[in-house]
Amino acid sequence: MAAVIRTQGLTKSFGAVRALDGLDLVVEQGQVHGFLGPNGAGKSTTLRILLGLLRSSGGVAELFGGDPWRDAVELHRRLAYVPGDVTLWPNLTGGEAIDLLGHLRGGIDTRRRAELLERFELDPRKKGRSYSKGNRQKVALVAALASEAELLLLDEPTAGLDPLMERVFQDELVRVRDQGRTVLLSSHILSEVEKACSVVSIVRAGRIVESGSLAELRHLSHTHVVATFADGRVEETSVAPEEVAGWVSGLGPGVVNLTATPPTLEELFLANYASEPAQGDRS
Amino acid sequence: MSGLTGTGTLLRLAARRDRVLIPVSALALTALSVGSAQATVALYTDPETAMAELGPVLNAPSTMAMYGPATTTNLEGLSVFKTLLMGAVFVGLLAFAVVRRHTRVEEEDGRLELLGAGVVGRQAPLAAAVALAVLATLVTAGLSVLGFVAIGFPARGSLAFGAAWTIAGLTMTGITAVAAQLTSSARGAAGWAVGALALLYLVRAIGDSATTDGGRVLRWFSPFGWASQVFPFGKDRLWLVLPALALAAVLVGVAFALLERRDLGAGLFASRPGRARAPRGLLSPAGLAWRLSRGGFVGWLIGFGLLGLVFGGLVSQVDSMLGDENIQTMLAQMAGVPVDELLSSMAAVYAATMVRFMTVAAAAAGVIVVLRLASEERSGRTEAVLATAAGRTRWYAAFTSLALVVAAVLILALSALMGVRGHAALAAAPTAGDLLQGAAEAIPAAWVCVGVAALLTGLSSRLAPWSWAVLGVAFVLGEFGPTMNLPSWLVDSSPFAHVRAYPFGTWDTANVVVLTTIAFVLVVAGALAHRRRDLG
């Protein structure tokens, strides 16, 4: 499969601060790729470099095989972007903002637009200044999802959405995936990535620290096993997945209940970040 | 908890945030007033030579409209004549900026909500903003008083000068406090407040250039009329501060009453639901730039159009300003020209002075459009637009070219209307054609200022606000440079110094071509810088 996004040794410095420190990221065509990391890890900086808004300080960044800085306009016809912190024009309505962004990208699917407005329960006639944070986010989501872009770059897209609307977003994400489109979804909300993403890259302090399918990543962490005995005795442990069988067979008789929980992404996250102390968060 | 709880804390916060703006403005304005006064005193040894040289200028109708009447004939009075009202306008703008910054801007950005959740009374932010604006006014006026005393001017007259500036500062504090309650956007508030300032200045200008007693009464309807009527170093009417104090108190009272009646974030005029779909005209960077600037532009255009008609009416009155026919004949004989020629040159000076002066305002209107680029970038909206297939240069060009068009159209509208109205009423007055040619000379000067703003914004959105400093310095150099006796190379660095006031002055094609070229080079340099840098 062709790589839609490829960065190699990507660096970006803002003065003395090094926001990206040799970031290697590959997103294949058709992947819904989770881009996970704590605040200030470099997620937004990476997206902005891929959008040609920032110029990289070093390394390689490729989008559809092109240079995101030099070929920005051509490449942007093929992608849609939802910024992390959506601000709208105070005196334009949400509907006008959706149409504007859609047309600048090269067209908008009117039927999809209407459908999405209904699903997200968004009133397009309100002025930008009177939308709440969640509603501003919806405006950006509708504008991006109503496009026919091959690639969606989503920067923490559910920030400010209520749980119901998060469900709607997850459904839409599945739909996009089923259409074979590519998504790079940056987030620090693990459950959101776990549901929709097939591949995950974890970024920390400007570097990718883990990357792979969820199954591969789970492999890296320990499974939690709890055994309950007839006499009420409880034994538990965390072992590597391949050692579960050995531990269980060593328990002896009297086991009435046995649970083995694969690690959640939450635990993966903690395992990765608890191992090294935080190096001063930047945002 | 009273409504004013926390005012002291907020006042200290606001003062800290304005710790550069207020002292720098106060010092700059003091340098302007005291510096130019000292230069004038040094230039003329006694009042008689000064009057002989300045007299004709002082009594010209155009001077009366611009700077107000001069009734004192002593050297001190003459030396502050130009800076009194112009400085008052700047003091008023400072008070406006302070009040707006700490009320509507804070509210629009949501920071007031953060504060409102703490132990802060509902009225505290407005009270703190008003207090700081009054403080800024007093500091600025006080520094000037000290400056005049320091260069040996009479104390009472110095105090009177400070009083005139205080009148302007107090008035604009009150006006801005009310304007901040009326609309739900900081831009809307700015429009109302600056519009009111322009209107009050115009009312005074009409009153001061009126030829009948009935017309002159108008000057008393404007606080700027009160400020000029203080007559520092002459009549020293310090008591004129009192009506300004009363007016400010009433306006601030109204502002607090309005505040009580509205919700946080809302204005008195609620925003209505709009269109669900965008009109075709909006769907491009140029369409968006126009849409964002349209409201402001229409306001400016109405203002410039009305001023054109008013000035046109005043141009046609130069004959009655010069007195009856006998005086006109006498003056014409002294000058060695026929009466008609005398009248037409007086009318041309008047019209050209107005065009030249309004060029600065047109440049400001253009700079506002360019600075949209910077505010779009800071708000993050540029990021959303440039993530689409709209290229950087197209985005930059949309705003800068609109800014150039806005500045030009405003000057053209003013000149055309002034010419049509003036020439219809007085055959000797310049025609619309003459004044449009004058406009063609003034427009490139405004374009240079727009170009500087474009270059600064192209380099960095953080540099963009310095465009105002550049515009202010260019205005001061062009307008006061010669009276302050500054070296000619410094004065000539202001584009406004190159507006030769056609049809009174001589037409200079090379001048126009050079200024236009400089403006375009600046805009293109800004575009190149904008292409190369990080955005957002």
Distance CA(A64)–CA(B396), nearest Å, equals 26
Which residue in B107, B383, B393 has the most chain A C-beta atoms within 10 A of its own C-beta, making it the best mutation to test that interface? Answer: B383
Contacts of A126 in chain B (CB under 8 A): 273-274
Averaged pLDDT for residues A246-259: 86
Q: Give the domain CATH number at A144.
A: 3.40.50.300
User: Are A257 and A140 in a shared domain?
Assistant: no
Q: Is B298 on the interface with A (CB under 8 A)?
A: no
Task: Provide the percentage of residues in chain A whose pLDDT is more than 90.
Answer: 54
Confidence of residue A278 (pLDDT cuts 50, 70, 90): very low
Chain B: residue whose CA lies nearest to A143: B384
Distance CA(A216)–CA(A200), nearest Å, equals 10
Residue B112: how many CA atoms within 13 Å on its side-chain side? 23
User: Are A65 and A176 in a shared domain?
Assistant: yes
Q: Are B333 and B374 in contact (CB under 8 A)?
A: no
Q: Are B521 and B369 in contact (CB under 8 A)?
A: no
Beta carbons of B185 and A90 less than 8 Å apart: yes
pLDDT tens-digit readout, A6-49: 999 999 999 889 999 999 999 999 999 999 888 888 999 999 99
Chain A: residue whose CA lies nearest to B379: A87
Task: Provide the percentage of residues in chain B whose pLDDT is more than 90.
Answer: 49
- The pLDDT assigned to A1 comes to 55
Distance CA(B207)–CA(B83), nearest Å, equals 19
Token reading at A200: 């995950």
CA-closest candidate to residue A97, choices A124, A122, A131: A124
pLDDT at residue B24 tops 50 = yes
Secondary element (H or E) of residue A79 = strand A79-82
- The pLDDT assigned to B482 comes to 77
- The pLDDT assigned to A283 comes to 37
Residue A277 in any domain: the answer is no
Q: What number of other Cβ atoms are within 10 A of residue B52's Cβ?
A: 10
- The pLDDT assigned to B401 comes to 97
User: Are A65 and A130 in a shared domain?
Assistant: yes
- The pLDDT assigned to B347 comes to 86
Burial classification of residue A162, based on how many CB atoms lie within 10 Å of its CB (0-12 exposed, 13-18 middle, 19 or more buried): exposed
Confidence of residue A282 (pLDDT cuts 50, 70, 90): very low
Task: Provide the percentage of residues in chain B whose pLDDT is more than 70.
Answer: 96
In chain A, how many domains are there?
A: 2
CA-closest candidate to residue A169, choices A158, A154, A178: A158
* Helices A110-119 & A133-145 angle (0-180, nearest 10): 150
ipTM value for the complex: 0.82
User: Are A178 and A231 in a shared domain?
Assistant: no
- The pLDDT assigned to B1 comes to 47
- The pLDDT assigned to A280 comes to 41
Distance CA(B459)–CA(B121), nearest Å, equals 42
Q: What is the SS3 string spanning B267-290?
A: CCCCCCCCCCCCCHHHCCHHHHHH
User: Are A122 and A255 in a shared domain?
Assistant: no
User: Are A176 and A108 in a shared domain?
Assistant: yes
Contacts of B294 in chain A (CB under 8 A): none
Confidence of residue B82 (pLDDT cuts 50, 70, 90): confident
Q: What is the SS3 string spanning B477-532?
A: HHHHCCCCCCCHHHHHCCHHHHCCCCCCCCCCHHHHHHHHHHHHHHHHHHHHHHHH
Least confident segment among A255-259, B244-248, B322-326: B322-326
User: Are A159 and A237 in a shared domain?
Assistant: no
Least confident segment among B106-110, B331-335, B453-457: B331-335
Beta carbons of A72 and B392 less than 8 Å apart: yes
Secondary element (H or E) of residue B321 = helix B318-321
- The pLDDT assigned to A60 comes to 94
Q: Which of B283, B379, B387 shows the shortest C-beta gap to A76?
A: B387
**Identity of the highest mean pLDDT range in A98-102, A163-167, A224-228, A232-236:** A98-102
One-letter amino acid for residue B205 of the chain: A
Token reading at A211: 């990357």
Burial classification of residue B142, based on how many CB atoms lie within 10 Å of its CB (0-12 exposed, 13-18 middle, 19 or more buried): middle
Residue A23 in any domain: the answer is yes
User: Are A13 and A121 in a shared domain?
Assistant: yes
- The pLDDT assigned to A129 comes to 82
Distance CA(B385)–CA(B381), nearest Å, equals 6
User: Are A197 and A255 in a shared domain?
Assistant: no
- The pLDDT assigned to A265 comes to 65
Confidence of residue B323 (pLDDT cuts 50, 70, 90): low
Enclosing domain of residue A239: 222-262
One-letter amino acid for residue B1 of the chain: M
Burial classification of residue B281, based on how many CB atoms lie within 10 Å of its CB (0-12 exposed, 13-18 middle, 19 or more buried): exposed
**Reduced to 3 states, what is the DSSP secondary structure of residue A87?**
coil
Domain parsing of chain B, residue ranges: 1-268, 284-536
User: Are A140 and A163 in a shared domain?
Assistant: yes
Residue A22 in any domain: the answer is yes
Q: Are B136 and B30 in contact (CB under 8 A)?
A: no
CA B523 to chain centre: 24
Token reading at B464: 């963009």
User: Are A93 and A123 in a shared domain?
Assistant: yes
Q: Is A70 on the interface with B (CB under 8 A)?
A: no
Residue A64 in any domain: the answer is yes
Beta carbons of B383 and A90 less than 8 Å apart: no
Residue A281 in any domain: the answer is no
Distance CA(B282)–CA(B231), nearest Å, equals 52
Q: Is A153 on the interface with B (CB under 8 A)?
A: yes
Q: Are B457 and B526 in contact (CB under 8 A)?
A: yes
- The pLDDT assigned to A99 comes to 95
pLDDT tens-digit readout, B283-304: 999 999 999 999 889 989 998 9
Last residue of a domain, one of A161, A184, A217: A217
- The pLDDT assigned to B322 comes to 65
Distance CA(B492)–CA(A79), nearest Å, equals 51
Long-range contacts of B191-196 (CB under 8 A, 24+ apart): B191/B295, B191/B296, B191/B299, B193/B96, B193/B100, B194/B93, B194/B96, B195/B299, B195/B303
User: Are A213 and A253 in a shared domain?
Assistant: no
Q: How far is A104 from chain B (nearest CA, A)?
A: 6
Q: How far is B266 from chain A (nearest CA, A)?
A: 9
- The pLDDT assigned to A277 comes to 46
Mean pLDDT rounded to a whole number for chain B: 88
Averaged pLDDT for residues B262-282: 78
Averaged pLDDT for residues A219-233: 82
Q: Which residue has the tokens 């490729």?
A: A62
Averaged pLDDT for residues A142-147: 94
Phi-psi region of B104 (alpha: psi -120 to 50; beta: other; left: phi over 0): alpha
Burial classification of residue A253, based on how many CB atoms lie within 10 Å of its CB (0-12 exposed, 13-18 middle, 19 or more buried): exposed
Beta carbons of B284 and A95 less than 8 Å apart: no
Q: Is B388 on the interface with A (CB under 8 A)?
A: yes
Mean pLDDT rounded to a whole number for chain A: 87
pLDDT tens-digit readout, B159-206: 999 999 999 999 999 999 999 998 777 878 888 898 899 899 989 988
Q: Which of A51, A96, A126 shows the shortest C-beta gap to B387?
A: A51
Q: Which residue has the tokens 């002066």?
A: B357
- The pLDDT assigned to A113 comes to 95
CA dihedral B5, B11, B13, B18 (to 10 degrees): 160
Give bridge partners of residue A236 from the DSSP assignment. A226
Distance CA(B378)–CA(B86), nearest Å, equals 33
Q: Which of A54, A89, A129 shows the shortest C-beta gap to B381?
A: A89
For A52-201, where are the alpha helices, taking DSSP H only?
A: 72-76, 94-105, 110-119, 133-145, 163-178, 190-196
Q: How far is A201 from chain B (nearest CA, A)?
A: 23
pLDDT at residue A199 tops 70 = yes
